[in-house]
Amino acid sequence: MAYNPKDYYFRKAKTENYAARSAFKLEEIDQRFKILKPGQKILDLGAAPGSWSQYAAKKIGNLGKVLGIDLQRITVKLPNAVFIQADLRDMRLEEVIIKHGFTPPFDVVMSDMAPKTTGIRVTDQARSLELCELALETANRFLKPRGSFIAKLFHSDDFESFRSKLRQTFEKVEVLRPKSTRKESKEIFLIGISFVEPKKSLTGDLDT
């Protein structure tokens, strides 16, 4: 069947005023694993166009706060969210975060980041893994103990190795392919629950 951009979840997103249908993926993850709670501080990586932040902002309420980061400008306006254009690879990222009124650590670090697809499966999978690794590195820097992590991955032979990495720093790791995922999509979501802060190497850990 030909791809239909105006499918059920597209129309549902329009009806509920979400920036994109991807909000329903986060909704299902949250309903299944109870990630988002009132008063939390959320770091949304690759936040454009803003639908994950919209859903999270609603769940955490007025006492909570969302910081969305993306290379692209985000135009969504939310009373309990701040959006900034920044590169996660910038080693001054903590300064940037603090400058915008946030003090790490965060209760949840979540990433819906995806590469610009080339149509070459192996290339797209490798770039997706790189973004997941970047999201995990960011979580290791800014996630509070017992916090939660969500990341989208294009399923590949590297799936098990990335899940094993998560198991080194989270007490529980779950996997979900939300119902709102398009049938032709290879994306899958990994959820890390109850973060255990990695121990710092005395000699300096240069591994990525």
- Name the helix (H) or strand (E) containing 152: strand 143-154
Q: Rounded to whole angstroms, how far apart are CA atoms 155 and 208?
A: 20
Strands 187-195, 143-154: pairing kind? antiparallel
The answer to whether the beta carbons of residues 111 and 46 sit under 8 Å apart is yes
The single residue of 152, 165, 179, 183 carrying the catalytic annotation is 152
Q: Any catalytic annotation for residue 6?
A: no
Compute the distance between CA of residue 195 and CA of residue 149 in angstroms, rounded to an integer: 8
* Dihedral over Cα of 118, 124, 128, 131: its sign: negative
Task: List the catalytic residues.
Answer: 152
